[in-house]
Structure 1
Amino acid sequence: MRKAFVFIVGILLICEGLSARDKSEKMCRVSFGAAAGWAYLLGLDDYAQELIHSHRTLFYTLNVAYRALPGDSSLYDSAFGYPMLEGGFLLADYSHIRLHMENRHTPYISGLGYMAAAYGAFRRDIVRSGRFSLSYSLENGIGLSTRPYNRVDNIDNELIGSPVSVYFGLGLQGKCRVARHWELYASVDLKHFSNGALDRPNKGANTVGLSAGLRYYPVPEKLLFPVRNRQGKTFDKYFYCDISVGWAAKSLIDEWFLYYYMISPQDPRYRTSVFPVYSALTATVAPMFRYRLKYASGIGVDYMYMPYVDRLKEVDKEKGMKGLVYSPHSVGLSLRHEVFYKRFSLYFSFGYYLFRKIGVESSDFDKEQYKYIPVEKEKPYYETLGLRYTIPGLECVYIGYQVKAHLLKADCMALSVGIRLEKLKKRGGCTI
């Protein structure tokens, strides 16, 4: 850890030397940061708790951040209290993690190695008082694993199943301006890496921890940044209809159960690391109410067509199971909320299936006969978390991606295109 902090301070001192050459107006909006932290790897169920034998994780980040000034014209920056937009690199040191299931008699310990990620972050102050401030952060990115699952020498790594993972992070930071150019901060962080069910295994690496960091401002702040939105009461509320279609992709956990637990070790598929990706089509219609510049809420009707149910029937046949019912169609009703910032928006929903039959037990299903066969029992609830981008020149059209889960267990990842049938208007000469 001492070497890590020496490295961080060295990088920031170099940044200070370089910034002395250019005190342009743009540099008033830019800052540089670095952090290091400790985290605890969580086991979210009994199986994961038995699998994980050590939990210590270390994180290191380097980043550059941009923050608009009060003199800038964006109503979104004013509405959010002039947030920071950050881009950076994160190194997760999972090398201390030990993974092993005692009942498999595996003659070695599996691990996670390292994860290197590029990410973007949104940081917003919620309290400011003199030198001190309190903020929250939302992070999203892509990570590369040095040691994903494989059946040869890492068979107990059921957390990270593929070289590429999606990264999500949440944080709460307390910050103190210790000098004109320097800010010290401490943070409580939740971090998540997984492949979004695009490969198997996919339990995901979830950590909670503490970090400390430094931020360098090339040009000292001379302005006060208000936290509260002064424009909120002037926003014209309106209704719109959000219509989207998408392509969803996933691997099947039922195939994982079959290949890992039920077929012969002589079968070439036994404990394989190669799982095909299956497609589905999605469509959503959601009446929404835009009640503030930042927020919209509504109710959505969600439809999905899943042709891969034929493969699920084949898996059941290979398991020797009878009496499970499947349908390629599902319909759900969801509560939705969307947060807007310029052309980007973050949305999430919580829904309940009105119709869905994926492995539903019929009256002919013998529970006692199949009680020792591993199967995936879906919950009737689902959640969706996604990021959208509104296309310039087509102010009502957006593209995006989202992860769908069943009570926090990833089900699929989807790409979508959508249209909002009421586009934003110009107010006071400024495009909001």
Structure 2
Amino acid sequence: MVLIINSSAQTSNVNFNDNKRELKLNTFVQIKFDYGGIVPAVKEKGIDKYYALDLRVAWQKKENNIYSTIYRAPKFGFGFYSASFDNNVFGEPNGMYGFFEIPIGDQKKRLNWIYSIGAGLAFNFNYFDPENNPANELIGSNKNVYLAFSFEGRYNITEHWVAGLGFGFKHFSNGRITLPNSGINLIPLTVTTEYNFGDSYTDIQKGKLPIFIPFNMLNVFGAAGVKNFEYDGARYFKSTLSINALRQFSYKYRYGLGFDLFYTAGSSDRVTDEKNNFNKQYSYGFAGLFEWLITERLYLPFNFGIHLNKNEENFEELLYQRIGLRYLLGKQKKIMIGVGLKTTEFHADYVEWTLGYTFKNDKNKYELLF
């Protein structure tokens, strides 16, 4: 069957009609079904089954701009999620999330490949309670962050109907707002059905991309959140002040170096080491920066840092990381908002709600190509 599909992919092309431009967007509806993928660490805690259903609405620009061309006409959208572990200990979570979907390679064949990333909020968990639900040692809150990644093969059955098959990664946790927070990780099989309401597609012509003009930038941002240190204990305020110097060398990527200063409330009483009050309340370090741009406004930061000062009583380790989602506001795209997760050696530290400003002199023009 795989040979037949591959043969069809090589010999059959979808009939794309690029002349119809009545609407600026193509719209899609997707139904996705997930099953299985229980990783051993989760299975040991009592989860044996997993299945879920997603209803997603997506749109795709017909107008050909820089990023539509670079990412081969990506889709953006939002989804509604409903799942079950077939287990009253963990509940039957529902959720809402945003996502983007990026094609891999030429999309004018019948068999195509895509990857998708989504993030949102899941709720309706049966969370840990020492008296009423002691068996749930993974999740300590009713509401949790929902992260999803999938890789799929998509087959164009007709001009409007598409079927997909692949695998995904799902993650649920609360960023240590409430303990326990081991989180739930899954790698399920994914089956997709998609309907395209439009009948034209974005014409991709990479030869018309203007040469990128590299530039430097300086980001200054603050972030705030809370952290829980013990079950049923108080939540303590945490904050970040960061300054980042970056070099953007292409439409898609930039790199740099940053300095982070972290504050944790209650540290002067919690930290027992012989330090001055500043070093008890504040930790700090340098981080290597890498940022992946999805559009000229939307990007994902990836930071890998080393603490020059840390406090073990605050559950801080030598190394720290940051992953997030940020968006640039304003006509000049200089006001930064976002959310991210700071981790210490890949254990959640706290969720950072971010606001900042970008200093830059970007001479590139992000206009329609044709």
- TM-score normalised by length of structure 1: 0.74
Within the candidate set 84, 106, 112, 1:133 is matched to 112
Alpha-carbon separation, structure 2, partners of 1:292 and 1:229: 14
One-letter code aligned to 2:53? Y
Within the candidate set 37, 58, 70, 1:40 is matched to 37
Tell me what 1:116 maps to.
94
Tell me if the contact between 1:184 and 1:215 (Cα under 8 Å) persists in the aligned partners: yes
Alpha-carbon separation, structure 1, partners of 2:208 and 2:36: 39
Tell me what 2:49 maps to.
56
Q: Is the aligned partner of 1:235 residue 2:212?
A: yes
Pairwise CA RMSD of aligned residues? 2.6
Count of residues in Structure 1 that have an aligned counterpart in Structure 2: 345
Tell me what 1:267 maps to.
none
One-letter code aligned to 1:123? E
Tell me what 1:19 maps to.
none
Tell me what 1:421 maps to.
359
Q: Is the aligned partner of 1:410 residue 2:348?
A: yes
Query: Deviation string for 1:31-79 (max 9, x for gaps)?
Result: 11101121333354xxx664x234210011001110112xx15322222
Tell me what 1:329 maps to.
282
- TM-score normalised by length of structure 2: 0.85
Alpha-carbon separation, structure 2, partners of 1:153 and 1:389: 41
Tell me what 2:28 maps to.
31
Alpha-carbon separation, structure 1, partners of 2:366 and 2:147: 36
Within the candidate set 320, 323, 328, 1:382 is matched to 320
Equivalence map 1:194-273=2 (5 Å): 194-221=173-200, 223=201, 225-226=203-204, 229-230=206-207, 234-252=211-229, 255-256=230-231
Within the candidate set 246, 250, 253, 1:288 is matched to 246
Tell me what 1:92 maps to.
83
**Structure 1 residues 54 and 196 mapped into 2: Cα distance closer, same or farther (>3 Å)?**
closer
Alpha-carbon separation, structure 2, partners of 1:161 and 1:201: 5
Equivalence map 1:344-355=2 (5 Å): 344-355=298-309
Alpha-carbon separation, structure 2, partners of 1:53 and 1:224: 47
Shift of 1:379: 3.0
Greater CA radius of gyration, 1 or 2?
A: 1
Equivalence map 1:10-21=2 (5 Å): none
Q: Is the aligned partner of 1:175 residue 2:154?
A: yes
Identity %: 22
Alpha-carbon separation, structure 2, partners of 1:276 and 1:349: 29
Within the candidate set 235, 245, 255, 1:297 is matched to 255
Alpha-carbon separation, structure 2, partners of 1:307 and 1:358: 14
Shift of 1:135: 1.1
Tell me if the contact between 2:339 and 2:353 (Cα under 8 Å) persists in the aligned partners: yes
Alpha-carbon separation, structure 2, partners of 1:428 and 1:160: 43
Query: Deviation string for 1:295-338 (max 9, x for gaps)?
Result: 1111111111223214535xxxxxxxx77977222111211111
Secondary structure of the structure 1 residue equivalent to 2:46: coil
Alpha-carbon separation, structure 2, partners of 1:384 and 1:155: 31
One-letter code aligned to 1:383? Q
Secondary structure of the structure 2 residue equivalent to 1:327: helix
Q: Is the aligned partner of 1:80 residue 2:71?
A: yes
One-letter code aligned to 2:335? V
Tell me what 2:133 maps to.
154
**Structure 1 residues 334 and 409 mapped into 2: Cα distance closer, same or farther (>3 Å)?**
same
**Structure 1 residues 409 and 145 mapped into 2: Cα distance closer, same or farther (>3 Å)?**
farther
Which residues of structure 2 form unaligned runs of 5+? 1-19
Secondary structure of the structure 2 residue equivalent to 1:415: strand
